[in-house]
Amino acid sequence: MGVITSSLYWSLPGPKEFAQKVTDACKNARVVMLSFPQYLPAPIVIPLENALKDANIYDPAMLNIESGMDISSQIATHFGEEHMPAQSLSNHVHKAQHAIVLIAQGSRAQEQCEKYMHEFTNGMEHATGNVSLIVSIRSGEHQKDEFKDGIRIISFDGSLRPAEMEAYVSQRMVSYAGPGTTNLYRHLVTEYAAFDATLAERLAEMDSSKILGLPHTLSEILGENLLRWSQQTWVAGTICSSSKDVHPLHEWHRATYSGVDANHFARLVEKRYWRACLKALMPWMEERRQGILDMVDRPLKVLEQSSGHGTIAKRIGSRTIYVPRHELEYNDLVFYATQPEFQSINLTIPELKAIEACSAAKTVRDELSHIRPPRVEDISNLVSRMDYLFPG
């Protein structure tokens, strides 16, 4: 997967909120458990150190605990001792407020860390020490913040909210526009990254054809860790804590591997493309509609004058309404271009090009109105025709 920009990631509201929770917890509790999934988008050590600094805890001891390690010996070395049982640590008075951070490496190591943590908590009843104990686990056992048995538990899955992901991708792809004058690439990356900043980086690194080829280009990423993406669990990072959304790579796994719900997940993945096109192309087309109308103003005036109403007849279902020519839509122009009275007008090349652009716009808009993603070739045709008429 891609390597994310840590400074940008940790500046976003969700990650910053997690760091603030750690700071607040360490100001008010001596035992804190941090619960993470197996995969986090960004390294946690530096943000954790900064959060502890904000709680007036400097130079914490960050200890990676492997299975079978003697935790008391590992901690004791930090204090220049041979052994530091949990009860002794709870009573230890350091020269300044201090913290020991145990980072469990694997399930067996986690059991050892939790055992030491509970012994530390039990020894705190009459303890006078000033050393806090922070334990980092990745079992998925704790998926929400809580206070339990004297332990402050903070859960963080690393996911970004939609607005945060949009901001992250916009910053990372600020110079990556396209296709043409659209920003569709950026919206596609945002939609298919969902809440995963690591995936956002990976998608943003793809060339333009692969971005347009989503979701099929997800297959190469899927195959790198098929076991992870086959799961729908918090600990695997395939479910977002806040929204309960499913990770796009899990959706694509379910869509591409036979199963009773394959069609359901295929629709979910397809809808991401539709949303990206809706956000990127609809306002972009609307911005150009008046310019198109200006280009075909001469033949539209002829239609308007021939109606006898100073307006143009427009069919809506079984009804006919009369509208000024500047209120016509792309599909109206495509319709009028097929009518004898319009075809009898000798159109100029710019007017013909404008009608061709209208037809391309109608094709894309029709798909979007039916909640379907347009074909890539239809998008390319639309963009090339519009950018020919409005070159930036």
Give yes or no for residue 274 having a pLDDT over 90: yes
Where along the chain do the CATH 3.40.50 domains lie? Answer: 6-155
- Calpha distance 11→388 (Å, rounded): 40
Residues 313-328: what's their mean pLDDT?
A: 74
Confidence at residue 164, expressed as pLDDT on a 0 to 100 scale: 97
Indicate the CATH number of 6-155 among 1.10.3470, 3.40.50, 1.10.10, 3.30.70.
3.40.50
What string of H, E and C letters represents the secondary structure of the chain?
A: CCCCCHHHHHCCHHHHHHHHHHHHHHHHCCEEEEECCCCCCCCCHHHHHHHHHCCCCCCCEEEEECCCCCHHHHHHHHHCCCCCCHHHHHHCCCCCCEEEEEEECCHHHHHHHHHHHHHHHHCCCCCCCCEEEEEEECCCCCCCCEEECCEEEEECCCCCCHHHHHHHHHHHCCCCCCCCCCCHHHHHHHHHHCCCHHHHHHHHCCCHHHHHCCCCCHHHHHHHHHHHHCCCCCCCCCECCCCCCECHHHHHHHHHCCCCCHHHHHHHHHHHHHHHHHHHHHHHHHHHHHHHHHHCHHHHHHHHHHHCCCCEEEEECCEEEEECHHHCCHHHHHHHHCCHHHHCCCCCHHHHHHHHHHHHHHHHHHHHHCCCCCCHHHHHHHHHHHHHHCCC
Confidence at residue 1, expressed as pLDDT on a 0 to 100 scale: 55
Beta pairing class for 312-316 and 319-323? antiparallel
**Local confidence band at 2 (pLDDT 50, 70, 90 cut-offs):** low
pLDDT in tens, 348-358: 999 999 999 99
99: which residues sit within 8 A by CB, 6+ positions away?
Answer: 26, 52, 57, 60, 61, 131, 132, 133, 134
**Local confidence band at 42 (pLDDT 50, 70, 90 cut-offs):** confident
**Local confidence band at 149 (pLDDT 50, 70, 90 cut-offs):** confident
Give yes or no for residue 320 having a pLDDT over 80: no
More confident residue, 129 or 19: 19
Give yes or no for residue 123 having a pLDDT over 60: yes
Angle in degrees, CA 73, 77, 78, rounded to 5: 125
Residues 311-319: what's their mean pLDDT?
A: 71
Give yes or no for residue 127 having a pLDDT over 80: no
Which residue shows structure tokens 């004898």?
340
Confidence at residue 321, expressed as pLDDT on a 0 to 100 scale: 73
Give yes or no for residue 98 having a pLDDT over 60: yes
